[in-house]
Amino acid sequence: MIEEGKPAPDFELHADDGRTVKLSDFRGRPVVLYFYPKDDTPGCSAQACGIRDSYSEFQARGAEVLGISVDDETSHQAFREKYNLPFTLLADPNAEAGKAYGVTQDDKPWFERSTFVIDAEGNVAKELRRVDPLLHADQVLEALPS
């Protein structure tokens, strides 16, 4: 179970560019870890573009943004290129990270739209469940330290 103030579950997943990424690689800076249902769908595209459009604010706060879905690296690469997304997308086809963060859904093969702000020490600073894709970027920026 995810709890604010407790260590965030570490994971190792493949990125859209072929790299292997571990959450623990980002210790020392905040991480915005957002789980979303599917690449290139209306809600997920609006959510990703909202982050893209505010990306300079995320950078100014030193935050790394990682988007995670069950889609594979090829799908992520196409999604990232289509919308010119400046952040990393991670493939979790076996839902290992999704299960660790409690965002899997029994009746659906995709993740619940949820975000976790991880502080520089690797602890969950904020948990945002079932976020509105149109309000997501602003909600996350409110949760990040200035």
Residue 102, phi then psi, degrees to nearest 5: 70, 35
Residue 44 is among the residues annotated as catalytic for this protein = yes
Q: Please tell me the total number of residues recorded for the chain in this structure.
A: 146
Q: Is 19 in contact with 121 (CB distance < 8 Å)?
A: no
Spatial neighbors of 58 by CB under 8 A, at least 6 apart, are 32, 51, 65, 87, 140, 141, 144
Identity at 4, one-letter amino acid code:
E
Whether the CA torsion 127, 131, 19, 120 is positive or negative: it is negative
Which of these is catalytic: 33, 44, 91, 118? 44
Question: Cα separation of 120 and 135, whole Å?
Answer: 24
- Known catalytic residues are 44
